[in-house]
Amino acid sequence: MLGLCANLKWLFTELPFLDRFDAAARAGFRAVEYASPYEYPAAEIRSRLRSCDLKQVLFNTPAGGGSGMACIPGRREEFRDGMKKALDYAAELDCGLVHLMAGIVPADLKRDTAAATYGANVAWAADLASPAGVRLVLESINQRDVPGFFLRTQEEGAAVIEAVGGDRVGLQFDIYHCQVAQGDVTRRLETLMPIIGHIQIADAPDRNEPGTGEIAWDYVFRRIDELGYAGWIGCEYRPATDTVSGLSWRTRFRV
């Protein structure tokens, strides 16, 4: 069976954040992810993880007031400070993956300049993260949800990974974002699987749980399994009703 982890930014939002760990464990999850741990002491989150017997799979680098800053010139020192903070939390939480957020390209910035800045920042961050036992992952986000986000397609992310080195940096393949931006999800999974470090799921077009939209999840889950994916799958969706009621899709699709 595929390993599912609960995204606590999106699931169990009926509860305060720190109470969501216990709710996820009671719902049968063995692992969690979320965007930001930085609002809480790492020791407090570690305590919640241990008491609930949960693994911390993934979190993001600091967002810098938006969707990241790695592609933005003039914010290099802020980006580097944020990366160091992320690695401190990763060590405390025994987390092996950190999503390095690319950021939104400012309207007055040439894309080539943003690309050069991003590439240099990713390479620097990989040099820092790899000796610490942390693999960075890069995510492409559709332009409908986050207009101007630097990484627009799965292939753009893959090109950066090829340049920096797939042993240190992987692809965070978000099926929802891929479907909205590009489609042809399973063909892209097949092509990019060697560099995929993490997968996230939500149905399209409304970003609710699997089975509420247009994606053929029976086929998608089967192909992920057949392709030998051994990582976690993050449930990063907006429940159509309440979280627990919506979890029936796990039985429906036998994952």
- Tokens 């990989």 belong to residue: 126
Q: What angle do CA 36, 221, 15 make, to 5 degrees?
A: 35
Contact of 237 with 207, CB cutoff 8 Å: yes
Single out the catalytic residue among 14, 44, 78, 139.
Answer: 139
Reply yes or no on whether 209 is catalytic: no
Single out the catalytic residue among 77, 92, 226, 236.
Answer: 236
- Tokens 């009671």 belong to residue: 26
> Based on the number of CB atoms within 10 Å of its own CB, is 178 exposed (0-12), middle (13-18) or buried (19 or more)?
buried
Reply yes or no on whether 78 is catalytic: no
Q: Who's near 41: CB < 8 A, 6+ residues apart?
A: none
Contact of 48 with 19, CB cutoff 8 Å: no
Which positions are catalytic?
A: 139, 236
